[in-house]
């Protein structure tokens, strides 16, 4: 399989969620079943140890076992995969990188050090050291809205010039802002830009390359079919996106905006609504999880609004 490049890094990538019990302990059998379900959905790729995989909560042994399990199954099936080596501590992120290079992921995802906001010099220093230790594996920068340092599009080019192996960024698109997409297009040379999953059709229309998809948490098969629709009938895909956003606005956003659950509680909740994998209902301590009692109503509304996903 050829190494990922900015041109080939595209499409719908499914996220791995931790499979845990109420006590927060890993359930390895259920995690294996989840990976099998994701592979069966034939996504453009799978990535582990993003926010939905609660990377910040894993010790080294758990991190390595999750990574080895995903790598083994993806190599066997021929599915592309990325491993997040992210950690708020730069030294721990570097150690995670050392642990997984031998697993030969198609790329590794990193976040900028996150206890105190990094300036440009520290950001470049961090990324250059990660590049030097990645054994030629490409880097993808995960820069979500809650990061301590949020880069504007021109900041991507600043990093790209210093770190040639940076092939992609995972970022927020300011709710499909026309100005943001204008700046994105002006600063995306040599960089694959991934936007929120529920904005993917708009992103593709405006020059983005793909999504590390929250929508795949609801139904990975439907999410991949939706991306396929974007490639053949973008207008139909945009119509479906409008209904996806209606579902998100009505059934998911209130948990964040009004009830103040963390964003990744919604990823896990959507997996419960979709019912495609038994990953459990609970985030690891200390984060609050959305009660399962809300699932039936959300599932009914999803069936009414986006029956393609239920």
The answer to whether 16 and 35 have CB atoms below 8 angstroms apart is yes
Average confidence (pLDDT) over 263-291: 97
pLDDT band at 3 (very low <50, low <70, confident <90, very high): confident
Q: Could you report the per-residue pLDDT of 73-126, keeping only the tens digit for each?
A: 999 999 999 999 999 999 999 999 999 999 999 999 999 999 999 999 999 999
Average confidence (pLDDT) over 23-29: 95
Angle 60-65-69 (CA atoms, 0-180°, nearest 5)?
150
The answer to whether 309 and 270 have CB atoms below 8 angstroms apart is no
Alpha carbon distance 88, 115 (integer Å) = 6
pLDDT at 1: 54
Mind spelling out the 3-state secondary structure of 19-62? CECCCCCECHHHHHHHHHHHHHCCCCEEEECCHHHCHHHCCHHH
Average confidence (pLDDT) over 214-230: 98
pLDDT at 137: 97
Q: How is residue 129 written in tokens? A: 């050291």
Sketch out the chain's domains with CATH numbers. Answer: 11-305 (3.20.20.70)
Q: How is residue 252 written in tokens? A: 């998911």
- Those residues whose C-beta lies under 8 Å from the C-beta of residue 80, and which sit 6 or more positions away, are 1, 4, 44, 45, 46, 74, 106
Query: Across the chain, what does the average pLDDT equal?
Result: 97
Q: Is the pLDDT of residue 244 over 90?
A: yes
Pairs from 207-210 (Cβ < 8 Å, separation ≥ 24): 207/181, 208/173, 208/181, 208/184, 209/6, 209/9, 209/10, 209/11, 209/168, 210/9, 210/10, 210/11, 210/12, 210/13, 210/44
Would you say the pTM of this structure is higher than 0.85?
Answer: yes
Q: Could you report the per-residue pLDDT of 157-179, keeping only the tens digit for each?
A: 999 999 999 999 999 999 999 99
| pLDDT cut 70: percent of the chain above it | 99
pLDDT at 117: 95
């Amino acid at each position: 399989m050829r190494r990922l490049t900015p041109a080939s890094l595209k499409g719908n990538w499914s996220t791995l969620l931790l499979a845990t019990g109420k006590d927060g302990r890993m359930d390895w059998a259920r995690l294996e079943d989840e990976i099998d379900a994701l592979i069966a959905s034939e996504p453009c790729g799978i990535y582990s140890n993003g926010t939905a995989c609660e990377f910040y909560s894993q010790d080294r042994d758990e991190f390595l076992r999750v990574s080895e399990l995903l790598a083994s199954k993806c190599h066997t099936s021929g599915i592309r995969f990325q491993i997040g080596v992210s950690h708020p501590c730069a030294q721990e992120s570097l150690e995670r990188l050392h642990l997984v290079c031998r697993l030969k992921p198609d790329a590794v995802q990193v976040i900028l050090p996150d206890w105190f906001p990094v300036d440009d010099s520290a950001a470049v220093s961090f990324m250059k050291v990660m590049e030097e230790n990645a054994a030629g594996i490409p880097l993808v920068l995960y820069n979500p809205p809650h990061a301590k340092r949020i880069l504007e599009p021109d900041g991507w080019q600043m990093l790209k010039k210093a770190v040639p192996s940076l092939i992609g960024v995972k970022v927020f698109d300011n709710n499909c802002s026309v100005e943001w997409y204008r700046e994105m297009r002006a600063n995306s040379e040599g960089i694959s830009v991934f936007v929120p999953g529920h904005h993917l059709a708009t992103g593709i229309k405006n020059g983005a390359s793909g999504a590390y998809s929250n929508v795949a948490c609801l139904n990975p098969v439907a999410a991949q079919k939706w991306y396929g629709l974007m490639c053949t009938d973008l207008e139909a895909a945009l119509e479906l996106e409008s209904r996806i956003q209606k579902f998100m606005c009505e059934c998911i956003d209130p948990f964040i905006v009004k009830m103040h659950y963390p964003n990744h509680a919604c990823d896990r909740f959507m997996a419960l609504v979709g019912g495609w994998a038994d990953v459990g209902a609970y985030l690891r301590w200390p984060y609050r999880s959305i009660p399962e009692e809300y699932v039936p109503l959300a599932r009914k509304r999803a069936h009414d609004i986006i029956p393609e996903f239920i």
